[in-house]
Structures are given as C-alpha cells and as structure tokens.
C-alpha cells in the first residue's frame, strides 16, 4: 500500500520501519491523512545514520524520546524508536528503547491507535483495532483504569477519538474508568485541555462526545464557567460551517474572559470568542443602511458567523456577504488641512463626524465628511 510516494524513498533506507498510529487508522477508515508517523526497531542514531547514507535530510527533533524527523520532497515524517514505559506519573512517562513491536503497541492509548503497517502493506493489529474501528468502538489497550492513571490526558484523548470514530454506545469499561478518575483532568495543563477541546470540536459531529463528557462529569471540570451543548447542537443543525472558534463560542457559557484565562487561550483566540459572543445587533429585517453600519464596525465573516446563533437568517447572511464593507473616508490629515491643529481635538471631531456618517448610513463621501467636520467646528 502506497500512502505517499515519498514514503517509498524512506522505506528504501529503513525497510524495517512501519507506519504507526493515526495514519494506519485513518487509511483503514478511508479518511484523509493528516501526517504519517513511523516507528523503527533502531536507535535514533542508527536512524539518522541510515538517512544520511540515503541522502535524506534528517532533523533530530526529539532525540531524547527517540524521534527523528526525515524530510523527503518537502514532506515531514517523524520516525520514532520503539519504546516501552519504564515509569509513568499521570502525564510524563520515562521510556526505554526496545525492538519489540508489540511492547511499543501496548503503550499506545486505544486499540485503533495501536496498529502498524509495514512496507508491503502487511497490517499488525495486536489488540483488535480493525474490529473496533469497523464497529466504531474506542477501547483502551489493556485495563482502562490503569491506562488512564498512567496519563490523565488519555481521558481527553478518549473523547477526541470517540467524537471522530464512535458509532453507538461507548465502551462501558472506558466510561466507568473515566467517571472514577475524572478528577485527573484537573492535573492537566490548561493548554493541553484547550488543545484537546478544539480537537473534539473539530470532529464533524462533536455533540454526542460532549454529552458523554457531561454525563461522566469531565466537562464541568474542564469548563467550570459553564457550557451550553444545546446551543452548539442547534448551531450545527442549522448548517453552520465547521469553524472551531464559532463552535467554541456556542459551547462556552459564562464569562469568556474567565474561561480564556483559565484555559490560557491566546489573546487572539480570546478576542475572536468575545467578538462572536456579542449579541446580534442585526435582524433579518435590517435595512441596507443597518447592514452598512454593522459592517463599518465588524467585518463580514464575524457578522455572518454571529447569524448562526439564530434561526432562519439565511437571507441576512447572503446580504452581508454581498455588501461591501464601508470605510469611514475622513482621516486626521483632512482635519489638519482644514486648519485644525494637531491634538486631542482632532480625535473628538473625527469621532463626531464618524457618528454622523454612521447615522446617515455610511454613504457620505470624503467631501461630505469634510463639510460636516467644518460644521462641527463652527458649532
Ligand atoms: P490525529 O489525527 O488526531 O493526529 P493521531 O493518532 O495521529 O491522531 P496523535 O496525538 O498525533 O494522534 O498521536 C500519535 C499516536 O501516538 C497515537 O495514534 C497513539 O498511538 C500514540 N499516542 C499519542 N499520545 C498518546 C498518549 N497520551 N498515550 C498513549 N498513546 C499515545
Ligand atoms: Mg497525529
């Protein structure tokens, strides 16, 4: 099976390497591949040496935990030495290298993530991953409680893969273990939690997974400010585009500022969420002037995104997309040309003229605005 032509080049240098994890799972599921990871029963030094001999560029991206990145025709491949866990502490594992494929597979989280495939397309499925993938079952490799206690991030990862691959009821052993160990998510770094939440929201249909997060008590722990799954479900049912931030804005309840601080969102992300959560000032019966006024303050994508929070606003979306964004035509320079000296007065006059321009539907020209500025000064 040829996943990528560049993979053949890699396999020529490392015939014993296998594709592992997500790429095997997604190939079998017929999904688009994000990236291809490989594993090899060779030390990182050996991997580097083989790549060098084959004139393949390699970067020691994570030598300490056994990862080398190979660059073939602008494509990155991570090649990781087979590992086994020596010690785990709920998040970080101390690992040792091994040449045992099954040992490497048994430290992976879910059966569907623990498969590997060699250069001849032979599949190695030690824990029934194919059966689970076909049946839509996300199951831990080994004992669910033990695996979660080794690394609490696996609770969040369970919901990520559940949202993407699950069909029907969840694995009861996994659900029981998650319920029992749910406080473990409180130990995860905020960045990790937010990044996993975004991945869950990126699934085509994340609602069932979120409902399961709620019933297991995980969601209230990662979103203590509150959440509104029904609002998200309604937004998706309305056909809103798959936009993670729009979905997040629908899901998050309570003060965005507090959630943003708790989950350590970037300023940019926090701003996007805040902009999206401003209640709609527009209405489907808005006049063209109302639309222009709204567009003078916010860009069309933001205004269109907000319409997905309400029912039956198709026509408004179409009109917003078709209306050019008006730009207030007056600048400070225009006022100095009119003889007003530099200083705070300029800003005040600009603001007053902009208000007048908005009230009049954002169609006044630069000349009109200059005239209005003069009127403001005289008054
Ligand atoms: P995605 O398409 O979301 O990237 P993926 O399977 O590639 O899915 P990654 O998070 O990129 O997921 O991890 C790659 C692989 O590494 C997984 O398929 C899994 O086998 C293993 N893995 C990653 N994180 C863990 C973990 N915390 N515990 C156990 N195995 C893990
Ligand atoms: Mg991946």
User: How do residues 42-99 score in pLDDT, each as one tens digit?
Assistant: 999 999 999 999 999 999 998 888 999 999 988 999 999 999 988 888 888 888 999 9
Question: CB–CB of 110/161 below 8 Å?
Answer: yes
For the segment 281-299, what is each residue's pLDDT rounded down to a tens digit? 788 899 999 999 999 999 9
Ligand 1 proximity of 108 Cβ (cutoff 6 Å) = yes
Q: Which atom from ligand 1 is nearest to the alpha carbon of 21?
A: 18
- How close is the Cα of 93 to the center of ligand 1, in Å? 14
The Cα angle at residue 14 between residues 11 and 19, in degrees rounded to 5 = 60
What spacing in Å lies between the alpha carbon of 22 and ligand 2's midpoint? Answer: 6
Ligand nearest to the CA of 150: 1
Q: Tell me the pLDDT band of 2, cut-offs 50, 70 and 90.
A: low
How far apart CA 156 and CA 328 sit, in angstroms, is 47
Is the separation of the CB atoms in 365 and 373 below 8 Å?
A: no
The 10s digit of each residue's pLDDT in 16-26 is: 999 999 999 99
The answer on pLDDT for 199 being more than 80 is: yes
Average pLDDT of the segment spanning 34-41: 94
pLDDT digits (tens, 9 = 90+) for 229-281: 999 999 999 999 999 999 999 999 999 999 999 999 999 999 999 999 887 77
Q: How far, in Å, from the CA of 162 to the mean position of ligand 1?
A: 13
309 or 40, which is more confident: 40
Instruction: Quote the pLDDT of residue 379.
Output: 72
| Three-state SS annotation for the chain | CCCCHHHHHHHHHCCCCEEECHHHHHHHCCCCCCCCEEEECCCHHHHHHHHHHCCCEEEEEEHHHCEEEEEECCEEEEEEECEEEEEECECCEEEEECCCHHHHHHCCCEHHHCCEECCCCCEECCCCHHHHHHHCCCCECCCHHHHHHHECHHHHHHHHHHHHHCCCCCCHHHHHHHHHHHHHHHHCCHHHHHHHHHHHHCCCCCHHHHHHHHHCCCHHHHCCCCECHHHHHHHHHCCCCCCHHHHHHHHECCCHHHHHHHCCCCHHHHHHHHHHHCCCCCCCCCCHHHHHHHHHHCCHHHHHHHHCCCCCCHHHHHHHHHCCCCCCCCCHHHHHHCCCCCCHHHHHHHHHHHHHHHHCCCCCCHHHHHHHHHHHHHC
- Ligand 1 pocket check for 151: Cβ under 6 Å: yes
With 60 as the cut, is the pLDDT of residue 1 above it? no
CB of residue 153 inside a 6 A radius of ligand 1: yes
What is the percentage of the chain residues whose pLDDT exceeds 90?
A: 85
Q: Are 342 and 322 contacting, i.e. CB atoms less than 8 angstroms apart?
A: no
Residue 154 Cα: closest atom of ligand 1: 27
pLDDT one-digit tens code per residue, 336-361: 998 888 889 999 999 999 999 999 99
Taking the domains of the chain in order of start, what are their residue ranges? Answer: 1-130, 288-322, 332-378
Q: What is the pLDDT of residue 3?
A: 61
- With a pLDDT cut of 70, the percent of the chain lying above it is 99
Ligand 2 centre from 35 Cα, in Å?
Answer: 6
pLDDT digits (tens, 9 = 90+) for 181-196: 999 999 999 999 999 9
Is 253:276 a contact under the CB 8 Å cutoff? Answer: no
Cβ–ligand 1 contact at 304 (below 6 Å): no
CATH number, span 1-130: 3.30.460.10
pLDDT at 340: 87
Residue with the bigger pLDDT between 64 and 170: it is 170
Higher pLDDT: 4 or 214? It is 214
Please give the pLDDT value at position 6.
86
The residue-averaged pLDDT of 129-144 equals 98
Atom of ligand 1 nearest to the CA of 157: 27
Give per-residue pLDDT as tens, 311-321: 889 899 999 99
Q: What was the pLDDT predicted at 214?
A: 98
- Closest ligand relative to 22 C-alpha: 1
Nearest ligand to the CA atom of 159: 1
Q: Indicate which atom in ligand 1 lies nearest the CA of residue 26.
A: 2
Atom 17 (ligand 1) nearest CA: 21
Output the CA 351–ligand 2 centroid distance in Å: 50
Q: Which of 122, 114, 185, 113 is nearest to 148 (CA)?
A: 185
Average pLDDT over residues 202-223: 98
């Amino acid at each position: 099976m040829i996943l990528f032509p560049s993979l053949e080049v890699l396999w020529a240098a490392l015939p014993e390497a296998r594709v592992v994890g997500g790429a095997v799972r997604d190939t079998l599921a017929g999904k688009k591949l994000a990236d291809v990871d490989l594993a090899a029963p060779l030390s990182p030094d050996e991997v580097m040496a083989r790549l060098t001999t084959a004139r393949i560029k390699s970067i020691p991206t994570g030598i300490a935990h056994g990862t080398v990145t190979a660059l073939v025709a602008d494509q990155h491949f991570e090649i990781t030495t087979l590992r086994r866990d020596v010690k785990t502490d709920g998040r970080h594992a101390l690992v040792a290298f091994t040449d045992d494929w099954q040992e490497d597979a048994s430290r992976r989280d879910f059966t569907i993530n623990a498969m590997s495939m060699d250069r001849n397309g032979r599949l190695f499925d030690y824990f029934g991953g194919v059966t689970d993938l076909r049946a839509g079952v996300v199951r831990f490799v080994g004992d669910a409680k033990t695996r979660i206690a080794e690394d609490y991030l696996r609770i969040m990862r369970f919901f990520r893969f559940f949202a993407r691959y699950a069909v029907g009821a969840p694995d009861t052993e996994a659900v029981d273990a998650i319920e029992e160990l749910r406080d473990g998510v409180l130990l995860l770094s905020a960045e990790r939690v937010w990044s996993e939440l975004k991945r869950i929201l990126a699934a085509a249909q994340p609602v069932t997974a979120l409902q399961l997060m709620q019933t297991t008590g995980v969601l209230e722990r990662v979103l203590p400010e509150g959440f509104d799954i029904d609002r998200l479900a309604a937004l998706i049912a309305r056909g809103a585009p798959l936009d993670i931030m729009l979905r997040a804005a629908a899901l998050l309840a309570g003060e965005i500022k507090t959630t943003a601080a708790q989950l350590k969102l970037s300023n940019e992300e926090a701003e996007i969420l805040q902009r999206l959560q401003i209640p709609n000032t527009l209405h489907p019966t808005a006049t063209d002037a109302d639309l222009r006024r709204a567009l003078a303050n916010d860009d069309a994508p933001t205004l269109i995104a907000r319409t997905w929070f309400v029912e039956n606003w198709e026509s408004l979306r179409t009109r917003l997309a078709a209306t050019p964004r008006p730009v207030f035509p007056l600048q400070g320079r225009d006022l100095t040309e009119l003889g007003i000296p530099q200083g705070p007065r300029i800003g005040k006059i600009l603001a007053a003229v902009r208000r007048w321009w908005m009230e009049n539907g954002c169609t006044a020209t630069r000349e009109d605005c200059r005239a209005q500025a003069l009127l403001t000064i005289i008054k």
